[in-house]
């Protein structure tokens, strides 16, 4: 393999996978999906479908112990905590859907996987709106820069962390994915693990808005369309 | 809790735990031990014994999927690969006991644990001889510096990574631990998971030499004493 893509099954990582498959041969790209106790584990099946559609050369799911992230108060994980509805808050600071240092763990695990399959690159789809207002500090350019150094140094200079969406908005990503025929219809973004996307949680609202801004229709089904 | 210490059960992390317990109250320090498919899983019991002896306020073992590190050729993990005997090589480059980006994963998991128990510091015992000749790139000051940034930024500036042994040799660490009454007799370093330490693998040799340099007797039992 030449490259790894961290594939959640969502829209951003799907566009990342398309970019990796364009830079390398699709069959030289390996998809890595990580289950971490998230309520919306449904996205894992979406990841698999995307990997199949793109013809990735390798695909693995790693099932992490729930113990790693449970009990820190994340609404994406903890049973007693409700996922909030409505858009991401405008004010700066922690969001309840932050999973403690999740992306540090994901990038580290992807690095071990990259070394195992002799890949030289890891694609990771954090984008500028994830980083906005310190919502997800483990998506900021500062965090990613630090991890890029750690990955490069910590692998005997063999593996690089690549973040092609780092400076793009959700709307930019939808535009790019549309131009490159990303299989948006296979993706899953909703934080709630329902039958259809809820249309009312922050990630649904952000996604719907990004399609609307581009004059496009989101091809997945929604229960309701929330206010963006 | 105020601080976490990554406690392998070895000599270095035990001295780290002693330092953490001196900077904070011992009962405000939590030990974190990680099983990762290592052949010398015996060290895990040593970690527990050290945590008990020091009176740490909290102690957890996390059992990671073997899948994370298996198959990348590490002699510490892969069944078909023999752990080499003799001292660490003098020439620069990869050692066969390197586990792919293990410390990135460990530090990330410790960060999640720190956030869960509201700790502000993570103690990690990498030292200068681990980093020597690029033996373990995920122990170098450059790697640790990058991870310090990643941890600080990725936790909303709540958690710091502290590496008090970063510029010490093994001999310095034995000296320091001896002065602070670190319970060396409870520790386990040997890469082979035998009844007694083998005395012939690189980590046994390095440990024995460090005691000898200080004019001290290593209190643990050895099968044999190898050449340092």
pLDDT at A93 (0 to 100): 85
What confidence tier does B66 reach under pLDDT thresholds 50, 70, 90? confident
pLDDT at A227 (0 to 100): 55
Q: At a CB cut-off of 8 Å and minimum separation 6, what does A197 contact?
A: A188, A189, A190, A204, A220, A221, A222, A223
pLDDT surpasses 80 at A111? yes
Residues in chain A with CB shorter than 8 Å from the CB of B158 are none
User: Residue B113 domain-assigned?
Assistant: yes
Residues in chain B with CB shorter than 8 Å from the CB of A140 are 153-154
Average pLDDT over residues B169-175: 98
Tracing tokens 């049973």 back to the chain, one arrives at A79
pLDDT at A104 (0 to 100): 98
pLDDT surpasses 70 at B227? no
Average pLDDT over residues B7-20: 98
**Number of domains comprising chain B:** 1
User: Residue A199 domain-assigned?
Assistant: no
pLDDT at B226 (0 to 100): 64
pLDDT at A65 (0 to 100): 86
User: Residue A168 domain-assigned?
Assistant: yes
Three-class DSSP category at A198: coil
- Taking the Cβ of residue A69 and every Cβ of chain B, the question of whether any pair is shorter than 8 Å is answered with yes
Residue B192 or A153, more confident: A153
Average pLDDT over residues A132-151: 96
pLDDT surpasses 60 at A147? yes
pLDDT at A225 (0 to 100): 74
Residues in chain A with CB shorter than 8 Å from the CB of B96 are none
**Are B104 and A116 an interchain contact pair (Cβ–Cβ within 8 Å)?**
no
User: Residue A106 domain-assigned?
Assistant: yes
Task: List the strands of the sheet with A160-162, edge to edge.
Answer: A58-63, A29-35, A3-6, A121-123, A160-162
What confidence tier does A66 reach under pLDDT thresholds 50, 70, 90? confident
pLDDT surpasses 80 at A228? no
Q: How far apart are the first and last CA of chain B?
A: 40
- Taking the Cβ of residue B155 and every Cβ of chain A, the question of whether any pair is shorter than 8 Å is answered with yes
User: Residue A167 domain-assigned?
Assistant: yes
> d(Cα A27, Cα A121) in Å, to the nearest integer?
14
Mean pLDDT computed over every residue of chain B: 95
> d(Cα A132, Cα B35) in Å, to the nearest integer?
36
User: Residue B219 domain-assigned?
Assistant: no
Average pLDDT over residues A110-120: 98
Q: At a CB cut-off of 8 Å and minimum separation 6, what does B111 contact?
A: A100, A101, A104, B122, B151, B154, B155, B159, B161
**Are A143 and B156 an interchain contact pair (Cβ–Cβ within 8 Å)?**
no
> d(Cα B96, Cα B112) in Å, to the nearest integer?
29
Average pLDDT over residues B187-205: 94
pLDDT, tens digit (0-9, with 9 covering 90-100), for B96-105: 999 999 999 9
Average pLDDT over residues B182-186: 98
Q: What is the CATH number of the domain that holds A9?
A: 3.40.50.620
What confidence tier does B19 reach under pLDDT thresholds 50, 70, 90? very high
- Taking the Cβ of residue B66 and every Cβ of chain A, the question of whether any pair is shorter than 8 Å is answered with no
> In the beta sheet, which residues pair with residue A32?
A6, A60
State pTM to two decimals.
Answer: 0.96
- Domain of residue B203 covers 3-213
Q: What is the four-CA torsion angle of B149, B152, B155, B158, rounded to 10 degrees?
A: 180
> d(Cα B214, Cα B174) in Å, to the nearest integer?
8
pLDDT, tens digit (0-9, with 9 covering 90-100), for B104-140: 999 999 999 999 999 999 999 999 999 998 899 999 9
Average pLDDT over residues A111-116: 98
User: Residue A221 domain-assigned?
Assistant: no
User: Residue B76 domain-assigned?
Assistant: yes
Average pLDDT over residues A195-219: 96
């Amino acid at each position: 393999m030449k490259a790894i893509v961290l594939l959640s099954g969502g829209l951003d990582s799907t566009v990342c996978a398309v970019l990796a498959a364009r830079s390398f041969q699709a069959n030289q790209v390996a998809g890595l999906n990580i289950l971490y106790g998230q309520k919306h584990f449904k996205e894992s099946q979406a990841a698999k479908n995307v990997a199949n559609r793109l013809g990735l050369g390798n695909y693995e799911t790693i099932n992490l112990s729930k113990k790693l992230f449970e009990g820190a108060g994340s609404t994406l994980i903890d049973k007693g905590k409700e996922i909030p509805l409505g858009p991401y808050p405008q004010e700066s600071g922690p969001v309840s859907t932050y999973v403690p240092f999740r992306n540090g763990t994901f990038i580290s695990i992807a690095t071990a996987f990259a070394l195992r399959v002799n890949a030289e690159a890891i694609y990771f789809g954090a984008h500028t709106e994830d980083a906005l207002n310190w919502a997800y500090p483990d998506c900021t350019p500062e965090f990613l820069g630090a991890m890029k150094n750690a990955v490069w140094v910590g692998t005997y200079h063999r593996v690089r962390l690549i973040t092609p969406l780092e400076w793009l908005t959700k709307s930019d990503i939808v535009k790019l994915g549309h131009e490159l025929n990303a299989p948006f219809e296979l993706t899953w973004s909703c934080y709630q693990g329902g039958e259809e996307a809820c249309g009312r949680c922050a990630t649904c609202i952000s996604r719907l808005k990004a399609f609307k801004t581009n004059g496009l229709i989101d091809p997945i089904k929604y229960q309701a369309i929330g206010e963006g």
